[in-house]
Homo-oligomer: A and B are copies of this chain.
Amino acid sequence: MARSSRQSVTIRHVAAEAGVSLQTVSRVVNNEPNVRPQVRERVMEAVKKLGYVPSLAARRMGGSRSYLILALNDRDRTIEGWQLGQGSDWIDQMLYGGMLACAERGYRMIFELIDTHSAHVEREVNAALSSLRPDGVILTPPHSDNPAIIDLLVKQHMPFARIGSDDASAGFAIRMDDGAAAQAATEHLIGLGHRRIGFIAGSEEYRLSGARTDGYRAAMAAAGLPVAEGLVQPGDFSFESGEAAMRAYLALPEPVTAVIASSEQMALGALHVARDRGVDMPAELSLVSFDDTPAVRFSVPPLTAITQPIAPMTAKAAELLIDAASGKESEPGVHVIPFALAVRRSSAAPGG
Protein backbone atom coordinates (compact mmCIF):
# COMPACT_ATOMS: atom_id res chain seq x y z
CA MET A 1 0.00 0.00 0.00
CA ALA A 2 2.98 2.29 -0.40
CA ARG A 3 1.86 3.69 -3.73
CA SER A 4 0.90 7.25 -3.12
CA SER A 5 2.07 9.26 -6.09
CA ARG A 6 -0.20 10.80 -8.69
CA GLN A 7 0.51 8.02 -11.15
CA SER A 8 -2.10 5.40 -10.59
CA VAL A 9 -2.06 1.66 -10.81
CA THR A 10 -2.75 0.23 -14.25
CA ILE A 11 -3.35 -3.22 -15.54
CA ARG A 12 0.38 -3.39 -16.38
CA HIS A 13 1.39 -3.14 -12.78
CA VAL A 14 -0.96 -5.89 -11.83
CA ALA A 15 0.30 -8.10 -14.65
CA ALA A 16 3.90 -7.56 -13.57
CA GLU A 17 3.08 -8.21 -9.94
CA ALA A 18 1.27 -11.44 -10.73
CA GLY A 19 3.73 -12.49 -13.42
CA VAL A 20 1.11 -12.89 -16.12
CA SER A 21 0.06 -11.07 -19.27
CA LEU A 22 -2.23 -8.08 -19.43
CA GLN A 23 -4.79 -10.30 -21.01
CA THR A 24 -5.01 -12.65 -18.12
CA VAL A 25 -5.51 -9.79 -15.72
CA SER A 26 -8.28 -8.45 -17.93
CA ARG A 27 -9.93 -11.86 -17.94
CA VAL A 28 -9.83 -12.15 -14.20
CA VAL A 29 -11.09 -8.64 -13.62
CA ASN A 30 -13.99 -9.18 -15.98
CA ASN A 31 -14.80 -12.62 -14.66
CA GLU A 32 -14.16 -14.27 -17.96
CA PRO A 33 -13.45 -17.99 -18.36
CA ASN A 34 -10.22 -19.65 -19.44
CA VAL A 35 -8.07 -18.85 -16.46
CA ARG A 36 -6.80 -21.56 -14.16
CA PRO A 37 -8.13 -21.15 -10.62
CA GLN A 38 -4.57 -20.95 -9.39
CA VAL A 39 -3.64 -18.11 -11.71
CA ARG A 40 -6.93 -16.36 -11.08
CA GLU A 41 -6.16 -16.45 -7.39
CA ARG A 42 -2.71 -14.99 -7.90
CA VAL A 43 -4.06 -12.16 -10.04
CA MET A 44 -6.80 -11.32 -7.59
CA GLU A 45 -4.23 -11.03 -4.88
CA ALA A 46 -2.16 -8.65 -6.96
CA VAL A 47 -5.26 -6.59 -7.71
CA LYS A 48 -6.06 -6.36 -4.06
CA LYS A 49 -2.52 -5.63 -3.01
CA LEU A 50 -2.09 -2.80 -5.49
CA GLY A 51 -5.63 -1.51 -5.07
CA TYR A 52 -6.21 -1.76 -8.79
CA VAL A 53 -9.45 -0.45 -10.25
CA PRO A 54 -9.79 -0.30 -14.03
CA SER A 55 -10.08 3.09 -15.65
CA LEU A 56 -13.55 3.76 -16.97
CA ALA A 57 -12.20 5.78 -19.86
CA ALA A 58 -9.75 3.13 -20.95
CA ARG A 59 -12.38 0.45 -20.73
CA ARG A 60 -14.64 2.46 -22.92
CA MET A 61 -11.83 3.12 -25.38
CA GLY A 62 -10.70 -0.43 -25.69
CA GLY A 63 -13.92 -2.30 -25.53
CA SER A 64 -17.45 -1.92 -26.61
CA ARG A 65 -19.00 -1.02 -23.28
CA SER A 66 -18.80 2.21 -21.34
CA TYR A 67 -20.33 1.03 -18.06
CA LEU A 68 -22.40 4.20 -18.13
CA ILE A 69 -26.15 4.64 -18.06
CA LEU A 70 -27.38 8.06 -19.04
CA ALA A 71 -30.59 9.45 -17.56
CA LEU A 72 -32.22 12.32 -19.40
CA ASN A 73 -34.36 14.81 -17.52
CA ASP A 74 -36.28 17.85 -18.60
CA ARG A 75 -34.16 20.92 -18.03
CA ASP A 76 -36.84 23.51 -17.29
CA ARG A 77 -38.83 21.38 -14.91
CA THR A 78 -35.78 20.18 -13.06
CA ILE A 79 -34.20 23.59 -12.65
CA GLU A 80 -37.49 25.13 -11.67
CA GLY A 81 -37.90 22.45 -9.04
CA TRP A 82 -34.44 23.15 -7.69
CA GLN A 83 -34.98 26.88 -7.61
CA LEU A 84 -38.35 26.82 -5.96
CA GLY A 85 -37.27 24.11 -3.58
CA GLN A 86 -40.85 23.12 -3.23
CA GLY A 87 -40.02 19.64 -2.27
CA SER A 88 -40.62 17.56 -5.32
CA ASP A 89 -38.15 14.76 -4.86
CA TRP A 90 -38.42 13.23 -8.28
CA ILE A 91 -34.73 13.64 -9.00
CA ASP A 92 -33.81 12.27 -5.61
CA GLN A 93 -35.93 9.20 -6.06
CA MET A 94 -34.60 8.69 -9.54
CA LEU A 95 -31.05 8.87 -8.26
CA TYR A 96 -31.89 6.58 -5.39
CA GLY A 97 -33.25 3.85 -7.58
CA GLY A 98 -30.93 4.37 -10.52
CA MET A 99 -27.58 4.97 -8.89
CA LEU A 100 -27.84 2.05 -6.52
CA ALA A 101 -29.05 -0.36 -9.19
CA CYS A 102 -26.15 0.72 -11.39
CA ALA A 103 -23.60 0.52 -8.60
CA GLU A 104 -24.63 -3.04 -7.79
CA ARG A 105 -23.70 -4.04 -11.31
CA GLY A 106 -20.47 -2.09 -11.63
CA TYR A 107 -22.17 0.63 -13.61
CA ARG A 108 -22.52 4.31 -13.06
CA MET A 109 -25.49 6.53 -13.73
CA ILE A 110 -24.98 10.01 -15.08
CA PHE A 111 -27.76 12.44 -15.62
CA GLU A 112 -28.18 15.27 -18.03
CA LEU A 113 -30.72 18.02 -18.46
CA ILE A 114 -32.32 18.31 -21.87
CA ASP A 115 -34.64 20.96 -23.23
CA THR A 116 -37.73 19.22 -24.53
CA HIS A 117 -39.22 22.23 -26.17
CA SER A 118 -36.09 23.50 -27.77
CA ALA A 119 -35.59 23.01 -31.46
CA HIS A 120 -32.23 21.66 -30.41
CA VAL A 121 -33.43 18.55 -28.60
CA GLU A 122 -31.71 16.38 -31.13
CA ARG A 123 -28.52 18.35 -30.94
CA GLU A 124 -28.51 18.21 -27.18
CA VAL A 125 -29.21 14.51 -26.98
CA ASN A 126 -26.68 13.81 -29.67
CA ALA A 127 -24.06 15.79 -27.84
CA ALA A 128 -24.64 13.85 -24.65
CA LEU A 129 -24.53 10.54 -26.50
CA SER A 130 -21.41 11.42 -28.45
CA SER A 131 -19.59 12.65 -25.42
CA LEU A 132 -20.55 9.87 -23.03
CA ARG A 133 -21.28 6.91 -25.32
CA PRO A 134 -23.44 5.31 -22.67
CA ASP A 135 -24.56 1.69 -22.82
CA GLY A 136 -28.14 2.74 -22.34
CA VAL A 137 -30.39 5.73 -21.86
CA ILE A 138 -33.17 6.27 -19.35
CA LEU A 139 -35.88 8.64 -20.46
CA THR A 140 -38.04 10.35 -17.86
CA PRO A 141 -41.29 12.23 -18.51
CA PRO A 142 -41.88 14.14 -20.67
CA HIS A 143 -38.93 12.85 -22.71
CA SER A 144 -40.24 9.30 -22.51
CA ASP A 145 -42.69 10.05 -25.29
CA ASN A 146 -40.73 12.60 -27.28
CA PRO A 147 -40.67 11.31 -30.87
CA ALA A 148 -37.55 13.27 -31.79
CA ILE A 149 -35.59 11.65 -28.98
CA ILE A 150 -37.03 8.19 -29.58
CA ASP A 151 -36.21 8.34 -33.29
CA LEU A 152 -32.67 9.41 -32.57
CA LEU A 153 -32.13 6.58 -30.12
CA VAL A 154 -33.62 4.00 -32.44
CA LYS A 155 -31.47 5.17 -35.35
CA GLN A 156 -28.35 4.96 -33.26
CA HIS A 157 -29.31 1.50 -32.01
CA MET A 158 -28.98 2.85 -28.51
CA PRO A 159 -30.89 0.75 -25.96
CA PHE A 160 -33.26 2.87 -23.92
CA ALA A 161 -35.91 2.70 -21.25
CA ARG A 162 -38.93 4.96 -21.02
CA ILE A 163 -40.18 5.73 -17.57
CA GLY A 164 -43.84 6.52 -17.31
CA SER A 165 -44.59 5.43 -20.85
CA ASP A 166 -46.86 2.71 -22.09
CA ASP A 167 -45.54 2.77 -25.61
CA ALA A 168 -43.97 -0.61 -26.19
CA SER A 169 -43.11 0.03 -29.81
CA ALA A 170 -39.48 0.83 -29.06
CA GLY A 171 -37.28 0.47 -26.02
CA PHE A 172 -38.40 -0.74 -22.64
CA ALA A 173 -41.45 0.93 -21.17
CA ILE A 174 -41.53 1.09 -17.39
CA ARG A 175 -44.51 2.54 -15.68
CA MET A 176 -46.91 2.31 -12.88
CA ASP A 177 -50.52 1.70 -13.74
CA ASP A 178 -51.67 5.30 -13.79
CA GLY A 179 -55.20 4.37 -14.67
CA ALA A 180 -55.42 1.87 -11.83
CA ALA A 181 -53.91 4.40 -9.45
CA ALA A 182 -56.45 7.07 -10.32
CA GLN A 183 -59.09 4.42 -10.05
CA ALA A 184 -57.84 3.35 -6.62
CA ALA A 185 -57.84 6.94 -5.42
CA THR A 186 -61.36 7.41 -6.71
CA GLU A 187 -62.55 4.16 -5.18
CA HIS A 188 -61.01 5.18 -1.88
CA LEU A 189 -63.15 8.33 -1.90
CA ILE A 190 -66.25 6.51 -3.09
CA GLY A 191 -65.73 3.99 -0.32
CA LEU A 192 -65.68 6.86 2.11
CA GLY A 193 -69.12 7.86 0.84
CA HIS A 194 -68.31 10.60 -1.63
CA ARG A 195 -70.45 10.96 -4.73
CA ARG A 196 -69.43 14.28 -6.24
CA ILE A 197 -65.73 13.87 -6.76
CA GLY A 198 -63.68 16.35 -8.77
CA PHE A 199 -60.65 15.38 -10.82
CA ILE A 200 -57.95 17.85 -11.83
CA ALA A 201 -56.36 16.52 -15.01
CA GLY A 202 -52.71 16.89 -15.97
CA SER A 203 -50.98 18.36 -18.96
CA GLU A 204 -51.87 16.65 -22.18
CA GLU A 205 -48.24 16.76 -23.12
CA TYR A 206 -47.87 13.74 -20.85
CA ARG A 207 -49.59 10.58 -22.00
CA LEU A 208 -50.18 9.45 -18.46
CA SER A 209 -52.56 12.34 -17.90
CA GLY A 210 -55.12 10.71 -20.11
CA ALA A 211 -54.72 7.35 -18.38
CA ARG A 212 -55.33 8.94 -15.00
CA THR A 213 -58.44 10.72 -16.13
CA ASP A 214 -59.70 7.49 -17.66
CA GLY A 215 -59.12 5.62 -14.39
CA TYR A 216 -61.14 8.21 -12.55
CA ARG A 217 -63.97 7.96 -15.04
CA ALA A 218 -63.89 4.17 -14.88
CA ALA A 219 -64.21 4.15 -11.09
CA MET A 220 -67.06 6.65 -11.21
CA ALA A 221 -68.85 4.65 -13.87
CA ALA A 222 -68.38 1.40 -11.98
CA ALA A 223 -70.02 2.99 -8.96
CA GLY A 224 -72.83 4.33 -11.10
CA LEU A 225 -71.86 7.91 -10.39
CA PRO A 226 -72.27 10.52 -13.12
CA VAL A 227 -69.34 12.68 -14.07
CA ALA A 228 -71.24 15.94 -14.17
CA GLU A 229 -70.19 19.06 -16.00
CA GLY A 230 -67.29 20.75 -14.26
CA LEU A 231 -66.12 17.76 -12.27
CA VAL A 232 -63.09 17.25 -14.48
CA GLN A 233 -60.99 20.40 -14.53
CA PRO A 234 -58.03 20.96 -16.83
CA GLY A 235 -54.59 21.47 -15.38
CA ASP A 236 -50.95 21.55 -16.42
CA PHE A 237 -49.39 20.04 -13.28
CA SER A 238 -48.60 23.51 -11.92
CA PHE A 239 -49.53 24.99 -8.57
CA GLU A 240 -51.42 27.76 -10.34
CA SER A 241 -53.52 25.37 -12.34
CA GLY A 242 -54.42 23.60 -9.11
CA GLU A 243 -55.53 26.90 -7.64
CA ALA A 244 -57.60 27.71 -10.69
CA ALA A 245 -59.26 24.32 -10.61
CA MET A 246 -60.17 24.66 -6.96
CA ARG A 247 -61.66 28.08 -7.59
CA ALA A 248 -63.75 26.51 -10.31
CA TYR A 249 -64.95 23.79 -7.95
CA LEU A 250 -65.88 26.32 -5.29
CA ALA A 251 -67.88 28.25 -7.87
CA LEU A 252 -69.91 25.21 -8.86
CA PRO A 253 -73.64 25.45 -8.11
CA GLU A 254 -73.58 22.01 -6.53
CA PRO A 255 -70.37 21.62 -4.50
CA VAL A 256 -67.94 18.74 -4.73
CA THR A 257 -67.10 16.89 -1.51
CA ALA A 258 -63.78 15.53 -2.69
CA VAL A 259 -61.07 16.34 -5.20
CA ILE A 260 -58.27 14.30 -6.74
CA ALA A 261 -55.39 16.25 -8.20
CA SER A 262 -53.25 14.40 -10.69
CA SER A 263 -50.08 16.06 -9.49
CA GLU A 264 -48.54 17.13 -6.24
CA GLN A 265 -48.27 20.78 -7.20
CA MET A 266 -51.89 20.94 -8.27
CA ALA A 267 -52.92 19.30 -5.00
CA LEU A 268 -50.99 21.92 -3.07
CA GLY A 269 -52.47 24.70 -5.17
CA ALA A 270 -55.95 23.36 -4.58
CA LEU A 271 -55.23 23.04 -0.88
CA HIS A 272 -54.01 26.61 -0.78
CA VAL A 273 -57.18 28.03 -2.27
CA ALA A 274 -59.45 25.84 -0.17
CA ARG A 275 -57.70 26.88 3.01
CA ASP A 276 -57.80 30.52 1.98
CA ARG A 277 -61.54 30.31 1.52
CA GLY A 278 -61.90 28.76 4.96
CA VAL A 279 -62.97 25.36 3.72
CA ASP A 280 -62.74 22.86 6.56
CA MET A 281 -60.67 19.87 5.50
CA PRO A 282 -61.44 17.07 5.50
CA ALA A 283 -64.88 17.80 6.99
CA GLU A 284 -66.12 19.80 4.01
CA LEU A 285 -63.68 18.61 1.42
CA SER A 286 -61.40 15.60 0.97
CA LEU A 287 -58.28 15.95 -1.15
CA VAL A 288 -56.05 13.31 -2.73
CA SER A 289 -52.71 13.95 -4.39
CA PHE A 290 -50.78 12.05 -7.00
CA ASP A 291 -47.16 11.91 -5.98
CA ASP A 292 -46.21 11.39 -2.39
CA THR A 293 -43.62 14.10 -1.86
CA PRO A 294 -42.24 15.72 1.28
CA ALA A 295 -44.45 18.74 0.76
CA VAL A 296 -47.52 16.54 0.63
CA ARG A 297 -46.53 14.77 3.82
CA PHE A 298 -45.78 18.01 5.63
CA SER A 299 -48.84 19.90 4.47
CA VAL A 300 -51.74 20.66 6.80
CA PRO A 301 -53.57 18.41 6.80
CA PRO A 302 -51.14 15.80 5.45
CA LEU A 303 -52.51 14.63 2.12
CA THR A 304 -53.70 11.21 1.16
CA ALA A 305 -51.62 10.42 -1.91
CA ILE A 306 -50.76 7.94 -4.60
CA THR A 307 -47.13 6.94 -4.11
CA GLN A 308 -45.38 6.77 -7.43
CA PRO A 309 -42.67 4.10 -7.43
CA ILE A 310 -40.07 6.37 -8.98
CA ALA A 311 -37.07 4.69 -7.40
CA PRO A 312 -38.20 1.14 -8.27
CA MET A 313 -39.06 2.20 -11.81
CA THR A 314 -35.67 3.77 -12.34
CA ALA A 315 -33.95 0.77 -10.81
CA LYS A 316 -35.86 -1.52 -13.16
CA ALA A 317 -34.90 0.65 -16.10
CA ALA A 318 -31.23 0.48 -15.17
CA GLU A 319 -31.40 -3.29 -14.71
CA LEU A 320 -33.00 -3.87 -18.07
CA LEU A 321 -30.46 -1.72 -19.85
CA ILE A 322 -27.48 -3.25 -18.13
CA ASP A 323 -28.78 -6.73 -18.81
CA ALA A 324 -29.18 -5.80 -22.44
CA ALA A 325 -25.63 -4.43 -22.55
CA SER A 326 -24.44 -7.65 -20.95
CA GLY A 327 -26.01 -9.72 -23.64
CA LYS A 328 -28.89 -11.01 -21.56
CA GLU A 329 -31.96 -10.59 -23.65
CA SER A 330 -34.79 -9.46 -21.39
CA GLU A 331 -38.43 -9.44 -22.28
CA PRO A 332 -39.29 -6.24 -24.09
CA GLY A 333 -42.69 -4.67 -23.69
CA VAL A 334 -44.22 -2.77 -20.82
CA HIS A 335 -43.05 -3.36 -17.28
CA VAL A 336 -45.62 -2.32 -14.72
CA ILE A 337 -44.37 -1.46 -11.23
CA PRO A 338 -46.82 -1.45 -8.29
CA PHE A 339 -48.01 1.82 -6.80
CA ALA A 340 -49.38 2.46 -3.32
CA LEU A 341 -52.03 4.66 -1.78
CA ALA A 342 -50.93 6.44 1.37
CA VAL A 343 -54.03 7.34 3.33
CA ARG A 344 -53.65 10.44 5.49
CA ARG A 345 -55.84 12.98 7.18
CA SER A 346 -56.93 14.88 4.08
CA SER A 347 -59.48 12.25 3.16
CA ALA A 348 -62.50 11.33 5.27
CA ALA A 349 -66.19 10.65 4.94
CA PRO A 350 -68.12 13.62 3.54
CA GLY A 351 -69.63 15.90 6.12
CA GLY A 352 -67.09 15.08 8.74
- On A, residues with C-beta under 8 Å from B are 4-6, 8-9, 51-58, 60-61, 66, 79, 81-83, 85-87, 89, 91-93, 95-96, 99-100, 108, 110, 113, 123, 126-127, 129-133, 155-158, 292-295, 297-300, 311
Interface contact B51-A86, CB-CB below 8 Å? no
- CB-based nearest B residue for A300: B300
For the complex of A and B, the 10 pairs showing the least CB-CB separation, nearest first, are A87-B294, A53-B130, A82-B96, A57-B60, A57-B57, A4-B155, A298-B298, A6-B157, A53-B127, A300-B300
How often does this chain occur in the complex, in copies?
A: 2
CB distance from A335 to the nearest CB of B (A): 22
Most B Cβ at <10 Å: residue of A4, A66, A85, A95:
A85
Task: Decide: A52 near B130, CB < 8 A? Known: A57-B61, A87-B294.
Answer: yes
Interface residue from B61, B96, B99 paired with A58 (Cβ < 8 Å): B61
Cβ distance A264 to chain B, nearest Cβ, rounded Å:
11
* A131: chain B residues within 8 A (beta carbon): 53-56
A92-B85 in contact (CB<8A)? yes
Q: CB distance B298 to A6 under 8 Å?
A: no
A151 nearest CB neighbor, chain B only = B4
CA gap between A127 and B53 in the complex, in Å: 6
> A6-B158, A51-B127, A53-B130 known; 4 other A-B pairs, CB under 8 Å?
A4-B156, A8-B133, A82-B311, A87-B298
Are B294 and A133 closer than 8 Å at their CB atoms?
Answer: no
Tell me, in angstroms, the Cα distance from A53 to B133 when the chains sit together.
11
Tell me the bound Cα distance from A98 to B43 in angstroms. Answer: 39
A274 to chain B, nearest CB (A): 15
B96 lies within 8 A of A133 (CB): no
Once the chains bind, are A91 and B95 in contact (CB under 8 Å)? yes
User: Is B66's CB under 8 angstroms from A57's CB?
Assistant: yes
A348-B338 Cα distance, complex, nearest whole Å: 46
Q: Contact check, B311 vs A130: say whether CB atoms are below 8 A apart.
A: no
What is the minimal beta-carbon distance from A101 to any residue of chain B, in angstroms?
13
Residues of chain B with a CB closer than 8 A to A96's CB: 79, 82-83
Contact (A113, B133) CB under 8 Å given A51-B126, A57-B61, A92-B91: no
Whole-angstrom distance between the Cβ of A54 and the nearest chain B Cβ? 7
Minimum CB–CB distance from A68 to chain B (whole Å) comes to 9
> Which residues of chain B are within 8 angstroms of A130 by Cβ–Cβ distance?
8-9, 51-55
Chain B residues positioned under 8 Å from A81 (CB to CB): 92
